């Protein structure tokens, strides 16, 4: 026989593994069905446990009631007048009662525990299998116990004669299987109710899962977890502030940049926006009470651009951009352009003076030419000296000298008040430069074009505080607008090159309030507006003076050093240094 051909190897059967479903709809549905099933089984078990005990109690009470019925004076008399026998009256009466009540047995015994009746006639005349002492002592007994006929629910009652004396006892047993049958008979109905409850729970679980499926776009839990992780990374990684609000105005979340820009901490999450930020334009913008795009607001010393987008649940998401540096650069650009215009005008004026000087020299009018040069040089020398004499800080002095040139070209007389004196002890000179620059710019705008146009600057040191007053000859500020002009975004001027106005006075007030001071506006002595700013603790403590060596410069003020190149100024020179030309 030829060898059988080899059987080709069967490819391995790849068994499909039924793991946990990935879709959130299936996961939620299975979890809710498991919970509903577990609760139903638990409730059924908790209901069956007391039901079994209740049926046992009912059977024992029924047995005791039958025992009371059997323990009649007639049975007691028959017990005393006859002997135990299968044909005796006690056995006949007991069997009659047993058959009529459906009891398992009815046993009548005397005081010695000898049976006078029993279902099995052979047991008559014998001692009972359980201890009868308790019932013979006059106590009723109910119990679940085992005897010659098996496990049963028993009820025992004492047997008394006509005088009430105990002459025996009656023990009645109800077959325990009948009790168990009643319990088992109640289970199908109970399971029907449990099944109905389970079906209702399954339907509710399905509807809830479908709703979750729609709301989560059928994403898996892992997808939602990944989205949350990505959202957290994105929110805290972008360089814009993000603040999410719910429908009641409470802060739902905010990223690190928003906390930095608004000057608040993470503990603000969950609190109302107005409680965290207080009243003001920033809270109005974020809450939606101020509407529009790219709204400008000032928080602390920061200029912020805010946009707000409502969400479908009644809340909103606001974004914040920091444009403090951009605003500063824009104002510097405006100042630079103004300075360029002033320099251009000075260049034109300088050319005219050179032509005048050249003409005087060609006409050989040398004395007149010398007087003309002295006059021109003296004006510029006096301007620098007067500023540095009153304002010892170099940054503030340089600012005022530059503003004087711009004021002169705009036809405005810029002067320092006679009693002004600012020592060179500023804690933050840039802060005062911002305040002075904004107020002088506004005063020049207000006074320009008016008759006898003038702006007066008064800088004084009162202890460690700096008090600044800027007065102009403009039309003034109406009383109803004196608080409004310090609001971010409010202006009556045309937009500058960087496209935003209405921030200068708001910054001035914020800088003052941050130091615990104040900024206000009123009416000057000669009409026009008078702005007053108080900056507490703006000066350092004065250092003890050290005598300088003769001819040295130690201890010389910044103003003296700056004015050394303009020697020859008179102590009684007028304080007006920006006369219009």
Sequence-separated (6 or more) residues with CB below 8 Å from residue 42: none
Where would I find the H helices in 71-175? 73-81, 89-101, 133-136
**In what side-by-side order are the strands of the sheet with 529-535?**
518-523, 529-535, 465-472, 454-462, 413-416, 576-578
Question: What does 369-395 look like in DSSP terms, one character per residue?
Answer: HHHHHHHHHHHHHHHHHHHHHHB--HH
Percent of the chain with pLDDT over 70: 72
Which has more confidence, 457 or 553?
A: 457
Polymer length of the chain: 581
- Is the backbone of residue 463 left (phi > 0), alpha (psi -120 to 50) or beta? left
448 pLDDT band, cuts 50/70/90, is confident
Which has more confidence, 489 or 11?
A: 489
> Is pLDDT above 90 for 467?
yes
Which has more confidence, 236 or 204?
A: 204
pLDDT in tens, 36-49: 777 777 776 766 66
| pLDDT confidence of residue 65 | 92
Which has more confidence, 555 or 298?
A: 298
pLDDT in tens, 2-19: 444 444 445 454 444 445
- According to the per-residue pLDDT averaged within each range, which of 283-287, 360-364, 572-576 is highest? 283-287
99-113, 115-129, 310-324, 556-570: which has the minimum mean pLDDT?
556-570
| pLDDT confidence of residue 502 | 54
Percent of the chain with pLDDT over 90: 8
Number of neighbours of residue 268 by Cβ within 10 angstroms: 19
| pLDDT confidence of residue 360 | 80
User: Average pLDDT, stretch 26-32?
Assistant: 72
Where would I find the H helices in 420-494? 429-447
User: Average pLDDT, stretch 410-432?
Assistant: 86
> Is pLDDT above 90 for 265?
no
Q: What is the pTM of this model?
A: 0.43
> Is pLDDT above 80 for 458?
yes
The mean pLDDT of the chain is: 76
> Is pLDDT above 80 for 562?
no
pLDDT in tens, 383-418: 667 788 888 888 888 888 878 877 877 888 888 888
Contact, 498 vs 333, CB < 8 A? yes
User: Average pLDDT, stretch 189-201?
Assistant: 74
Sequence-separated (6 or more) residues with CB below 8 Å from residue 348: none
Q: At 445, phi and psi to the nearest 5?
A: -60, -40
Which has more confidence, 31 or 556?
A: 31
Q: At 71, phi and psi to the nearest 5?
A: -75, 65
CA distance 404 to 561: 20
pLDDT in tens, 166-185: 999 999 988 766 555 666 66
| pLDDT confidence of residue 151 | 67
User: Average pLDDT, stretch 118-145?
Assistant: 87
152 pLDDT band, cuts 50/70/90, is confident
490 pLDDT band, cuts 50/70/90, is low
Question: How far from 227 is each of 221, 222, 269, CA to CA, in Å?
Answer: 10, 9, 21
126-140, 205-219, 561-575: which has the minimum mean pLDDT?
561-575
* Domains (range + CATH), the chain: 25-182 (3.30.450.20), 238-322 (3.30.450.20), 381-541+554-578 (3.30.565.10)
| pLDDT confidence of residue 472 | 92
Contact, 238 vs 77, CB < 8 A? no
């Amino acid at each position: 026989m030829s060898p059988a051909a080899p059987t080709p190897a069967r490819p391995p059967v790849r068994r499909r593994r039924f793991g946990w479903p990935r879709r959130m709809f299936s996961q939620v549905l299975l979890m809710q069905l498991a919970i509903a099933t577990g609760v139903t089984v638990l409730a059924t078990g908790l209901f069956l446990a007391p039901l079994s005990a209740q049926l046992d109690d009912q059977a024992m009470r029924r047995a005791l009631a039958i025992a009371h019925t059997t323990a009649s004076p007639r049975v007691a008399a028959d017990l005393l007048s006859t002997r135990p026998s299968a044909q005796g009256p006690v056995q006949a009466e007991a069997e009659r009662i047993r058959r009529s009540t459906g009891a398992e047995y009815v046993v009548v015994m005397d005081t010695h525990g000898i049976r006078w009746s029993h279902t099995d006639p052979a047991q008559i005349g014998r001692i009972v299998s359980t201890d009868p002492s308790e019932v013979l002592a006059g106590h009723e007994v109910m119990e679940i116990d085992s005897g010659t006929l098996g496990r049963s629910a028993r009820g025992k009652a004492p047997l008394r004669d006509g005088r009430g004396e105990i002459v025996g006892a009656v023990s009645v047993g109800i077959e325990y299987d009948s009790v168990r049958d009643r319990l088992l008979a109640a289970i199908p109905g109970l399971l029907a109710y449990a099944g109905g409850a389970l079906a209702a729970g399954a339907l509710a679980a399905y509807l809830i899962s479908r709703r979750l499926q729609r709301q989560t776009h059928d994403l898996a839990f892992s997808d939602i977890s990944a989205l949350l992780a990505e959202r957290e990374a994105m929110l805290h990684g972008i360089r814009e502030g993000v603040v999410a609000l719910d429908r009641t105005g409470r802060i739902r979340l905010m990223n690190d940049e928003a906390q930095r820009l608004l000057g608040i901490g993470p503990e603000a999450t969950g609190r109302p926006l107005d409680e965290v930020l207080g009243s003001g334009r920033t809270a109005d913008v974020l809450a939606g009470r101020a509407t529009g795009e790219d709204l400008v607001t000032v928080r602390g010393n920061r200029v912020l651009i805010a946009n707000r987008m409502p969400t479908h649940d009644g809340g909103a998401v606001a974004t914040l951009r920091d444009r403090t540096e951009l605003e500063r650069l824009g104002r510097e650009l405006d100042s630079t352009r103004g300075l360029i215009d002033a320099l251009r005008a000075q260049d034109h004026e300088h050319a005219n003076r050179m032509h005048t000087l050249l003409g005087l020299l060609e006409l050989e009018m040398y004395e007149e030419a010398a007087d003309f040069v002295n006059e021109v040089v003296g004006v510029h020398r006096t301007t620098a000296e007067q500023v540095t004499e009153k304002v010892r800080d170099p940054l503030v002095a340089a600012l005022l000298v530059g503003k004087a040139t711009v004021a002169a070209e705009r036809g405005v007389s810029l002067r320092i008040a006679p009693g002004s004196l600012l020592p060179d002890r500023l804690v933050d000179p840039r802060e005062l430069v911002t305040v002075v620059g904004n107020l002088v710019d506004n005063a020049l705008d207000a006074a320009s074009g008016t008759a006898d146009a003038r702006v007066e600057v008064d800088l004084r040191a009162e202890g460690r505080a700096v008090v600044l007053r800027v007065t102009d000859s403009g039309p003034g500020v109406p009383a109803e607008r004196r608080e409004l002009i310090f609001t971010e975004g409010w202006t009556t001027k045309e937009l500058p090159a960087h496209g935003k106005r209405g921030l200068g006075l708001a910054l001035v007030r914020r800088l003052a309030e941050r130091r615990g001071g104040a900024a206000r506006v009123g009416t000057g002595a000669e009409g026009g507006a008078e702005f007053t700013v108080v900056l507490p603790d703006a000066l350092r403590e004065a250092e003890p003076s050290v005598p300088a060596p003769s001819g040295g410069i130690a201890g010389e003020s910044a103003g003296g050093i700056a004015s050394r190149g303009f020697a020859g100024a008179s102590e009684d020179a007028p304080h007006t240094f920006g006369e219009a030309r």
